């Protein structure tokens, strides 16, 4: 399960635990002649196994999570309806389990509906004090589960964001870039789309670091990232590729559009006066996404165009036009 998402693993574990919990009761009920409940248990085990297989093969978990919650909650209600209030304990793991496999809002709705249904079924069958105790405990359990699960999800989202951000500039980092490249190229293979990639590198940045120190270099990198953010569209994504290199993925931009964007970034950096002692300039390489292209090829084309821009004078951009990574054709820009 190493390569599976957290949500997939939770669904698969829920299916396994559900089957292990139900199987012994299935055997026992057949042995004592309780065939109605045994048949229900068999159906539950079969459906649970089917959901496990579905998630394992397709890796789709959203629908499966909702289905398994509704099945286990319905089973808890059914057992209480058949066996009476003494089987109410099955509602506890069923309601808590919902908060583990679906989003907190849906879990709250499903568990709340289950508690209300159980209250109607059990009402009048047990003393009022016991009834209030059971459903107060169930309500508190769901409330605590909601608060805990919501807090965990918030923390996970925050940690995911922090893990995908560059600590210095606040841009998306190399890890986020790799994921975005895979996502964009995979979508392009399913249905052709328009996108371009721009790699930019600060000219003579090593000399600045060596002469004025890394603190000055860091401030320049932060300033460059801010200038780029102001130059790109809201739909564009900015990443720090490493060191003094940045990458922009421009969704919906063909090569000509990306060239205009690259020149706009270059001009704004040149005029920005980020460092008064020396003029700061950048070189850029631009490559549009081709049909069937993989992430490595796409970024290699842009990187080759960047190298050409540096080789032919710096403070300029180059457009790489290729159908694959084997061919070489570079068109110089302003």
pLDDT at 8 (0 to 100): 83
Q: Position of tokens 């270059």?
A: 266
* 101 and 188 housed in the same domain: no
* 87 and 147 housed in the same domain: yes
Give the total number of structural domains in the chain: 2
Using only C-alpha atoms, the chain has a radius of gyration, in whole angstroms, of 29
Q: Supply the pTM of this predicted model.
A: 0.63
* 139 and 206 housed in the same domain: no
pLDDT at 326 (0 to 100): 55
> pLDDT truncated to tens, each residue of the chain (334 aa)?
556 777 788 888 888 888 888 888 889 888 898 888 788 888 888 888 888 898 888 888 888 888 888 988 998 898 899 888 988 988 998 899 888 888 888 899 999 999 999 999 999 898 888 889 999 999 999 999 989 888 888 888 888 777 889 989 999 999 999 999 999 999 888 888 999 999 999 999 999 999 999 999 999 999 999 999 999 998 999 999 988 999 999 999 999 999 999 999 999 999 998 888 889 999 999 999 998 899 999 999 999 999 999 999 999 999 987 666 754 444 445 4
Helices 128-163 and 104-122 pack at an angle, to 10 degrees, of 170
Please check whether residue 167 lies inside any domain of the structure.
no
Identify the domain boundary among 118, 135, 162: 162
pLDDT at 309 (0 to 100): 95
pLDDT at 2 (0 to 100): 57
* 12 and 157 housed in the same domain: yes
CATH number at residue 293: 3.30.70.270
Dist CA 216 CA 222 (whole Å): 10
Please check whether residue 48 lies inside any domain of the structure.
yes
* 157 and 98 housed in the same domain: yes
* 156 and 178 housed in the same domain: no
The DSSP 8-state label assigned to residue 86 in this structure reads G
* 21 and 78 housed in the same domain: yes
In 3D space, the residue among 65, 70, 75 whose CA is nearest the CA of residue 42 turns out to be 75
- Which residue range forms the structural domain that includes residue 184? 174-319
* 140 and 189 housed in the same domain: no
Please check whether residue 80 lies inside any domain of the structure.
yes
Please check whether residue 67 lies inside any domain of the structure.
yes
pLDDT at 201 (0 to 100): 95
Burial 29-48 (b: 16+ CB within 10 A, else e): beeeebeebbebbbebbebb
In 3D space, the residue among 198, 207, 284, 278 whose CA is nearest the CA of residue 238 turns out to be 198
* 17 and 62 housed in the same domain: yes
* 14 and 85 housed in the same domain: yes
Q: Position of tokens 């080759």?
A: 304
Please check whether residue 204 lies inside any domain of the structure.
yes
Identify the domain boundary among 107, 133, 162: 162
Please check whether residue 331 lies inside any domain of the structure.
no
The burial of 1, by beta-carbon neighbours within 10 Å (0-12 exposed, 13-18 middle, 19 or more buried), is given as exposed
Identify the domain boundary among 141, 162, 183: 162
Please check whether residue 50 lies inside any domain of the structure.
yes
Please check whether residue 324 lies inside any domain of the structure.
no
**What are the structure tokens assigned to 144, written together?**
């605590």
**What are the structure tokens assigned to 107, written together?**
């879990």
Q: Position of tokens 């709250």?
A: 108
The DSSP 8-state label assigned to residue 87 in this structure reads G
* 73 and 12 housed in the same domain: yes
Cβ proximity of 220 and 209 under 8 Å: no
* 196 and 307 housed in the same domain: yes
pLDDT at 329 (0 to 100): 45
């Amino acid at each position: 399960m190493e390569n599976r998402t957290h949500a997939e693993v939770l669904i698969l574990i829920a299916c396994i635990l559900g089957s292990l919990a139900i199987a012994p009761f299935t055997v026992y009920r057949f042995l004592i002649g309780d065939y109605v409940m045994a048949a229900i248990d068999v159906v539950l085990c079969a459906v649970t196994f089917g959901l496990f297989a579905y998630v394992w093969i397709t890796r789709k978990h959203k629908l499966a999570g909702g289905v398994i919650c509704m099945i286990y909650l319905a089973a808890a209600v059914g057992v209480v309806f058949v066996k009476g209030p003494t089987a109410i304990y099955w509602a506890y793991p069923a309601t808590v389990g919902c908060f583990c496999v679906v989003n907190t809002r849906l879990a709250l709705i499903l568990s709340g509906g289950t508690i209300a249904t159980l209250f109607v079924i059990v009402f009048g069958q047990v003393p009022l004090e016991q009834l209030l105790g059971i459903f107060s405990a169930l309500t508190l359990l769901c409330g605590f589960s909601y608060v805990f699960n919501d807090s965990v999800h918030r923390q996970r989202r925050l940690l995911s964001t922090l893990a995908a951000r560059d600590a210095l500039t606040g841009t998306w980092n190399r890890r986020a870039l790799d994921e975005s490249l895979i996502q964009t190229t995979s979508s392009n293979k399913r249905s052709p789309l328009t996108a371009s990639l721009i790699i930019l590198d600060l000219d003579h940045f090593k000399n600045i670091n060596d002469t004025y120190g890394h603190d000055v270099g860091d401030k320049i990198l932060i300033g460059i990232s801010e200038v780029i953010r102001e130059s790109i569209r809201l739909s564009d994504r900015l990443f720090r590729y490493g060191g003094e290199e940045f990458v922009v993925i421009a969704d919906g931009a063909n090569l000509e559009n990306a060239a205009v964007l690259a020149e706009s970034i270059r001009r704004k950096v040149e005029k920005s006066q980020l460092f008064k002692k020396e003029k700061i300039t950048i070189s850029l390489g631009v490559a549009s996404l081709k049909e069937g292209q993989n992430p490595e090829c796409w970024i290699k084309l842009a990187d080759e165009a960047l190298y050409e821009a540096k080789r032919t004078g710096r403070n300029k951009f180059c457009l790489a036009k290729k159908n694959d990574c084997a061919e070489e054709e570079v068109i110089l820009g302003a």
